[in-house]
């Protein structure tokens, strides 16, 4: 079994880390550079940085902030927000990102996935998906969860894999910030449907939720924010717990 990954996420708004519930009611969570450095030192496997209002506000992700974070960490670093063309990818990779996360721009123009994979390699391209479960199934949203689309979750992620995406970062909007566990049924279906890694996001509130997302949700990695930002769960403690549950982890 490949080692599972624990990934803290920095949601950035106006240069500060924020966290909300169901994509609203944002509160400040600290300085992103300091948090990033702490997570790297604590044994996080990767770090994700999402400029959460970049697509909505129609501006570019802060390359300078990316540069400052990259200089302070020694783990793989994924950056997303406002990435619409290859020059954006190039600029952020040069600033120190290892991977690029695209969401709204890929829904609007799916060919962007092909272009990133062809020019930079599939390993650079992470498709982020914000989806909500409704009475008619799971549907994808863009602009930070503000706009419903006609993309069905499992069809869209399969298409993204075929176009060259290297990973899927799936956030359940129903579970985001609620801390009652991940969307394990949907994650398991997605993992069974795809051959590329699936990163679970939305719902972490206890160590048991990480256990369940790996064993029941079949996720390759688990992303979380507030439980790490506010010190509710320490990454070394979490990894020790998961190892004791028989889950293969990279050692701290």
pTM of the model: 0.91
What residue has token string 């799936």?
170
> Averaged over 222-247, what is the pLDDT?
94
Q: What is the pLDDT of residue 24?
A: 47
CA distances from 172 to 36, 106, 112 (A): 24, 18, 23
**Per-residue pLDDT reduced to its tens digit, 154-192:** 999 999 999 999 999 999 999 887 899 999 999 999 999
Q: What is the pLDDT of residue 23?
A: 44
Query: Is the pLDDT confidence value at 195 over 80?
Result: yes
Residue count of the chain: 252
Cα pseudo-dihedral 102, 106, 111, 116, rounded to 10:
0
110, 163 Cβ separation under 8 angstroms? yes
Q: Left, alpha or beta for 47 (phi > 0: left; psi -120 to 50: alpha)?
A: beta
- Tell me the C-alpha distance between 243 and 117, whole Å: 34
11 has catalytic annotation:
yes
Least confident among 23-32, 159-168, 175-184, 210-219: 23-32
Cα pseudo-dihedral 221, 209, 21, 140, rounded to 10:
50
CATH architecture for segment(s) 3-243: Alpha-Beta Barrel (3.20)
- Tell me the C-alpha distance between 98 and 92, whole Å: 9
Q: Left, alpha or beta for 33 (phi > 0: left; psi -120 to 50: alpha)?
A: alpha
Residues whose CB falls within 8 Å of the CB of residue 108, separated by 6 or more in sequence, listed in order: 142
**Per-residue pLDDT reduced to its tens digit, 114-154:** 999 999 999 999 999 999 999 999 999 987 678 899 999 99
What residue has token string 């070394």?
236
238, 207 Cβ separation under 8 angstroms? yes
Instruction: Find, among 1, 32, 4, 2, the residue nearest to 214 by Cα.
Output: 4
Backbone angles phi, psi at 119, to 5 degrees: -90, -30
Of the listed 45, 88, 130, 212, which one is catalytic?
130
Query: For residues 145 and 206, which has the higher predicted lDDT (pLDDT)?
Result: 206
220 has catalytic annotation:
no
Strands 147-152 and 137-142 turn out to be: antiparallel
Under the banding of pLDDT at 50, 70 and 90, the label for residue 34 is confident
Under the banding of pLDDT at 50, 70 and 90, the label for residue 252 is low
CB burial of 200-230 (b: ≥16 within 10 Å; e: otherwise) equals bbbbbbbbebbbbbbbebbbbbbbbbbbbbe
Least confident among 101-115, 185-199, 219-233: 219-233
Strands 147-152 and 47-51 turn out to be: unpaired
């Amino acid at each position: 079994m490949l080692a599972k990954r624990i990934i803290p996420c920095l949601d950035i708004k106006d240069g500060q880390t924020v966290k909300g519930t169901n994509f609203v009611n944002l509160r400040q969570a600290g300085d992103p550079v300091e948090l990033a450095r702490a997570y790297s030192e604590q044994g996080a496997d990767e770090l994700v940085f999402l400029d959460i209002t970049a697509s909505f506000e129609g501006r570019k992700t802060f390359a300078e902030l990316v540069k400052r974070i990259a200089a302070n960490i020694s783990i793989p670093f994924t950056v997303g927000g406002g990435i619409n063309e290859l020059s954006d990818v190039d600029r952020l990779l040069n600033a120190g990102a290892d991977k690029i996360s695209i969401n709204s721009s890929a829904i609007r123009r799916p060919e962007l996935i092909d272009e990133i994979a062809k020019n930079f390699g599939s390993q650079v391209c992470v498709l982020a998906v914000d989806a909500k479960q409704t009475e008619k199934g799971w549907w994808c949203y863009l602009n930070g969860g503000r706009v419903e689309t006609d993309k069905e979750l499992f069809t869209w992620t399969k298409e993204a894999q075929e176009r060259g995406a290297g990973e899927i970062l799936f956030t359940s909007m129903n579970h985001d910030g609620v801390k009652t566990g991940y969307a394990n049924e949907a994650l398991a279906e997605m993992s069974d449907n795809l051959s590329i890694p699936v990163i679970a996001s939305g719902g972490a509130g206890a160590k048991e939720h990480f256990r369940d997302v790996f064993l029941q949700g079949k996720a390759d990695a688990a992303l979380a924010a507030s439980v790490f930002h506010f010190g509710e769960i320490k990454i070394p403690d979490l990894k020790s717990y998961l190892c004791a549950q028989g889950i293969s982890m990279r050692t701290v």
